[in-house]
């Protein structure tokens, strides 16, 4: 059972706020009966939902992978007019949302989907989906630092869960830059940066390269791709869900738009903040 306005929004009727207005105006019916309460819950797989007498068409689940550049917000919109990751997505019918977020100055793998249940499971702390980051830090990642990361770092909001650490390149002195892979399953705000800063190693560059069974592979910065069938099954199973039938999104292609893998905003150049 899901809230009616959420079902309407996921079906592409309108934004959730606009769908609430439609409900309050008495324009939405469930099994032929008008519904005007915003708290009403429905089962879209069993009940007939209509707007102005026209049945809604439920969306099939879609999952995309984006290699997020820095200087983009991981949000659907921004009141200050700053660039958001939504500008980098292809023109598809489904209303997609980012699964969690990456900081403004962090790049890498960001998932998008219209499956709210999948999103909730992937982000729920009890599921412990592992995320892997490539981190460049200033300073030497010594044995004591690795031990602290693997045992937990005490931050202002509590001790972090044990992480996995792999040093790819060691710094040649305190002013050099070391590169490590860090795997965590928590999702605290700016967690990776705070962990290294607590240990006296300022982060120079941060990029997420894996989210559960999904990896960036050779995806270029600013480009997107659908999941492979194998990734689709593995991601749903990692979330503890039965995978629905695999489906690639249908992209509406404009013959004058060029390569739809990149956003039109990226082609126009950066927008002033």
Q: Is the pLDDT of residue 261 over 60?
A: no
If one counts every other C-beta atom within 10 angstroms of the C-beta of residue 40, the result is 14
Is 46 in a helix, a strand, or coil?
coil
Is residue 263 a part of any domain in this protein? Answer: no
Q: How many structural domains comprise the chain? A: 3
* DSSP code string of 47-82: S-EEETTEEP-PPPP-EEEEEEPSS-BSSS--TT--
93 and 118 belong to one structural domain: yes
Is residue 272 a part of any domain in this protein? Answer: no
- What's the sign of the alpha-carbon dihedral 81, 87, 91, 97? negative
222 and 121 belong to one structural domain: yes
Is 206 in a helix, a strand, or coil?
strand
pLDDT of residue 254: 53
204 and 220 belong to one structural domain: no
200 and 137 belong to one structural domain: yes
Query: Which residue numbers are catalytic?
Result: 103
Q: Single out the residue in 191, 211, 231 at which a domain terminates.
A: 211
Average pLDDT for residues 241-248, to the nearest whole number?
92
Structural domain span for residue 195: 131-211
Cα dihedral 77, 82, 87, 93, rounded to 10, equals 20
Lowest mean pLDDT: which of 31-35, 42-46, 110-114, 208-212? 42-46
164 and 196 belong to one structural domain: yes
Q: Single out the residue in 192, 211, 230 at which a domain terminates.
A: 211
| 3-29 tens-digit pLDDT | 999 889 878 788 888 999 999 999 999
pLDDT of residue 253: 62
**CA nearest to 62, candidates 257, 224, 238:** 224
**Judging by beta carbons within 10 Å of its beta carbon (0-12, 13-18, 19+), is residue 181 exposed, middle or buried?**
middle
183 and 220 belong to one structural domain: no
pLDDT of residue 39: 86
Average pLDDT for residues 62-78, to the nearest whole number?
95
142 and 203 belong to one structural domain: yes
| 148-195 tens-digit pLDDT | 999 999 999 999 999 999 999 999 988 999 999 999 999 899 999 999
End-to-end CA distance of the chain: 41
* DSSP code string of 157-190: TEEPPP-EEEEEE--SSTTSEEEEEEEE----TT
| 195-243 tens-digit pLDDT | 999 999 999 999 999 999 999 999 999 999 999 999 999 999 999 999 9
**CATH code for the domain in which residue 24 is found:** 3.10.290.10
Is residue 262 a part of any domain in this protein? Answer: no
Which position has the higher pLDDT, 271 or 229? Answer: 229
| 93-150 tens-digit pLDDT | 888 999 999 999 999 999 999 888 899 899 999 999 999 999 999 999 999 999 999 9
Per the structure block, which two tokens stand in for 124?
Answer: 């729920």
Please give the model's pTM, rounded to 2 decimal places.
0.81
């Amino acid at each position: 059972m899901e809230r009616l306005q959420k079902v309407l929004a996921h079906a592409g009727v309108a934004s959730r706020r606009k769908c609430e207005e439609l409900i309050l105006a008495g324009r939405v019916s469930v099994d032929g009966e008008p519904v005007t309460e915003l708290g009403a819950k429905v089962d879209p797989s069993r009940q007939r939902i209509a707007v102005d007498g026209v049945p809604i068409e439920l969306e099939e689940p879609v999952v995309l992978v984006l290699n997020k550049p820095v200087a983009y917000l991981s949000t659907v919109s921004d009141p200050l007019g700053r660039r958001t990751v939504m500008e980098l997505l292809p023109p598809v019918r489904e209303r997609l949302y980012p699964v969690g977020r990456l900081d403004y100055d962090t790049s890498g793998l960001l998932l998008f989907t219209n499956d709210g249940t999948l999103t909730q499971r992937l982000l729920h702390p009890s599921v412990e989906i592992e995320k892997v980051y490539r981190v460049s830090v200033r300073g030497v990642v010594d044995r004591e630092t690795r031990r602290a990361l693997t045992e937990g770092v005490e931050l202002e909001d509590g001790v972090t869960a044990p992480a996995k650490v792999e040093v790819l390149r060691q710094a040649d002195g305190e002013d050099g830059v070391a590169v490590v892979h860090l795997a965590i399953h928590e999702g605290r705000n700016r967690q990776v940066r705070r962990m290294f800063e607590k240990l006296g190693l300022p982060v120079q560059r941060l990029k997420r390269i894996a989210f559960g069974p999904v990896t960036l592979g050779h995806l270029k910065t600013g480009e997107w791709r659908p999941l492979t069938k194998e990734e689709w099954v593995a991601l749903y199973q990692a979330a503890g869900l039965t995978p629905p039938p695999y489906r690639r999104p249908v992209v509406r292609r404009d013959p004058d738009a060029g390569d739809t893998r990149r956003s039109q905003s990226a082609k126009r150049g950066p927008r002033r903040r």
